[in-house]
Amino acid sequence: MTELSEAGRAHYELWKWARAEQARLKTIETNARAALETEIGGDAEAVVDGAPVISWTPVKSSKFDQSAFAKDHPDLFEQYKRTSESRPFKEVKQS
């Protein structure tokens, strides 16, 4: 366990502030996008003064259905399954 220095504490407070700002800005972005989507409706593009500013067209993509593959071919799925490690960086909530 590491006891944070003065600089570390300042960085911790800055990190918490930045995360709160990101959440606040994400809410603003989400609300603005919802309003734009409502206004654009089924059109593929939005313009300002005749110049395109938003493109909103459907895109098709193919994805591998891992769950279905594991169900249909459990032996192959196990053979190719790999374990990975991550190190989540998260704030510990105080009680």
pLDDT digits (tens, 9 = 90+) for 5-29: 999 999 999 999 999 999 999 999 9
Distance CA 28, CA 34 (A): 10
- On the question of pLDDT at 53 being above 90, the answer is yes
Whole-number pLDDT of residue 36: 98
Distance CA 16, CA 31 (A): 23
For residue 52, being part of any structural domain is answered with yes
Query: Among candidates 68, 42, 77, 67, which has minimal Cα distance to 57?
Result: 42
Whole-number pLDDT of residue 95: 81
- On the question of pLDDT at 63 being above 90, the answer is yes
Distance CA 6, CA 9 (A): 5
For residue 86, being part of any structural domain is answered with no
Please list the residues that pair with 54 across neighbouring strands.
Answer: 46
For residue 40, being part of any structural domain is answered with yes
| Cβ pair 2, 77 in contact under 8 A | no
Q: Which domain holds residue 28?
A: 6-80
For residue 56, being part of any structural domain is answered with yes
pTM: 0.74
Q: How many domains does the chain have?
A: 1
* Percentage, residues of the chain above pLDDT 70: 100
Q: What is the mean pLDDT of the chain?
A: 97
Please list the residues that pair with 48 across neighbouring strands.
Answer: 51
